[in-house]
Amino acid sequence: MNFYKELELIIEAKNPQEKIKKFDEFFIKFQNKELSFEVLEAPKKFLEPSYIDLCEIISPQDVPKRKNLTEKSGQINLIHAIAHIEYSAIDLALDAAYRFHDLPQKYYEDWLDVAADEIRHFVMLETLLQELDSFYGDVEVHNALFEALQRTQTLVERMAVVPRYLEANGLDATPMILEKLRKLPQKGIIAKIVEALKIILDEEVDHVKKGDNWFRYACTDENKNPQEEYFRVIEKFYPQGFLRPRNINIDARKEAGFSCSELEFIAKRELC
């Protein structure tokens, strides 16, 4: 079995059950060193997300708001939104291993480990949806993460945008969601959502750190200054990304590899 061809098939799998089954079988073979690494002629450019037949795709501005968390509908919207991020993140991690060749073995180990984490996160959230008589695909979703996959076609850009920007933004957002949830009675589904988000937050720090490591590796390989290159890439893809002051998860971002000067630029205030 060819490493890259199998990854391509997993990325293109059209439903969660198929994707997870294929990945589990593939991951065992990878760990047992049963795969060949002959490079394909060219990585495939994916034109549509793997969830296209499962979810109704709308603009990010129109996605149902995550409010009324004391009501079932609000809880479903919140869980579904996070489940969609995790499901999209599965393909992003797999594509990181699929698209970029001739890298150290540790690179591929890292991104397959991330994919395994994202699958576990998705399954955890999908279980909560099922407790609410819902399922993934019940709520409209956006394409923002898939579009990031399509647009970032170099290792420097992918590592800057996906782990160090999009996923790092999640390190900031999740504590704010947890703060809202902790104001509610900690029982039933609310307690389960809190527990799931705590697990996800802790493990996402490691994902951002892996991205930071490989971003710096790619910058060194191309003789680029990591901090200058990071802000150049984010300005290219997200011109409004760092224009305004923002609340950030300082401790988590430091643990994930952000420097004090980067954090102060992002937050627009002195921190260190």
Q: What is the pLDDT of residue 68?
A: 87
- For residue 137, what are the CA distances in angstroms to 64, 84, 87, 131, 143? 13, 9, 11, 15, 13
Q: Residue 113's Cα: distance from chain center in Å?
A: 13
Q: What is the pLDDT of residue 42?
A: 87
Phi, psi of 2 (to 5 degrees): -90, 130
Please give the model's pTM, rounded to 2 decimal places.
0.96
Q: Which of 249, 253, 162, 160 is nearest to 205 (CA)?
A: 253
> Is the Cβ–Cβ distance between 78 and 127 less than 8 Å?
no
- For residue 111, what are the CA distances in angstroms to 36, 134, 135, 187? 17, 30, 27, 35
Instruction: Decide: helix, strand or coil at residue 48.
Output: coil
Fold exhibited by the domain 56-267: Ferritin (1.20.1260)
Task: Kindly list the domain boundaries of the chain, sorted by start residue.
Answer: 56-267
Q: What is the pLDDT of residue 162?
A: 98
Q: What is the pLDDT of residue 235?
A: 97
User: How many Cβ atoms sit within 10 Å of the Cβ of residue 7?
Assistant: 27
Q: What is the pLDDT of residue 65?
A: 83
Question: What's the average pLDDT block by block, 10 residues per block, for the chain (272 residues)?
Answer: 96 97 98 94 94 96 87 96 98 98 97 98 98 97 97 98 98 96 92 97 98 98 97 97 93 97 94 82
Q: What is the pLDDT of residue 183?
A: 92
Residue 150 and residue 46: Cα distance in Å, rounded? 7
